[in-house]
Structure 1
């Protein structure tokens, strides 16, 4: 498996292999934010096929509760592994470790992420990797579906954080 920063040529293949709702793909939005310097979009590859993704949003979670609790904390967002039969094989963990390494390279000492209340499997992974509860919040986001209808999404979540060790990085690149 390889974890790499998303390139422009990757977006169409991500759309093909790991679809997203909406008229404008979430992959295109994430790649655009990366181009503007607001994030870094990571893609996991196996045999030339994208099998997972995650984005580090450098200015953090948009939820006011999170911003108030820990201003400036970068957020790992949109972690996903596809197809589902590849889950629990280390892909998500590898994406998280690469995001942590990247945050340390950028001089950050903490990384956060949100987990939906209805996703105990992800919460267990994050706990095993050392993430701890910071605050509860409601994640609100929207997208325009393929029929042009704006869909509003509301998810009760918990924001988790992990202090990143400083000093030399002893992280194996995957």
Structure 2
């Protein structure tokens, strides 16, 4: 398995292999954020096929509750492994570790991430990796369907943080 930042030529491959129902421009939006320097869109590849992704948002979580508690603590956002049958094989763990290493390389001392309260499997993974709950919040997002209608969504979440030891050098 290879984990690396997204490249422009990866976006159409992502669109083909990792569907984004309700958010057809999700991969392009995350790549654009990376190009603007506001994030790093990490991709996991197996045998030339993308099997997971997550974006480190360098300016932190946008939710006001999280910003009030943690400021601009970098956030690993949108972690996903696809197809679902590949979950539980270490891909998500590898993406989290790669994100942590990126944060360390930039001098960061902590990484945060949100987990929906109705996702106990992900919450268990994050707990095993040392992430602890800090603040409850509502993740608000919107998507536009093919007819141009915008749909607002809200998920009850908990923001978790893991302090990162600085690597000696």
Q: Taking CA–CA contacts closer than 8 Å with sequence separation of 6 or more, which of the two structures ends up with the larger relative contact order?
A: 1
Deviation at 1:22? Answer: 4.2
- Report if aligned partners of 2:104, 2:167 keep a CA contact under 8 Å in 1: no
**What RMSD, in angstroms, separates the aligned Cα atoms of the two structures?**
1.1
- Report if aligned partners of 1:23, 1:148 keep a CA contact under 8 Å in 2: no
TM-score, normalised on structure 2? 0.97
Deviation at 1:147? Answer: 1.8
Does residue 48 of structure 1 match 2:48? yes
Q: 1:95 is matched with which residue? A: 95
Question: How many aligned positions are there?
Answer: 169
Q: Which of structure 1's runs of 4+ aligned residues deviate more than 2 A? A: 21-24
CA distance in 1, matches of 2:32, 2:18: 17
Deviation at 1:168? Answer: 3.0
Q: Which runs of 5+ in 2 are unaligned?
A: none
Q: 1:17 is matched with which residue? A: 17
Q: 1:141 is matched with which residue? A: 141
Deviation at 1:145? Answer: 1.2
Deviation at 1:117? Answer: 0.6
Q: 2:130 is matched with which residue? A: 130
- Report if aligned partners of 1:21, 1:145 keep a CA contact under 8 Å in 2: no
- Report if aligned partners of 1:40, 1:56 keep a CA contact under 8 Å in 2: yes
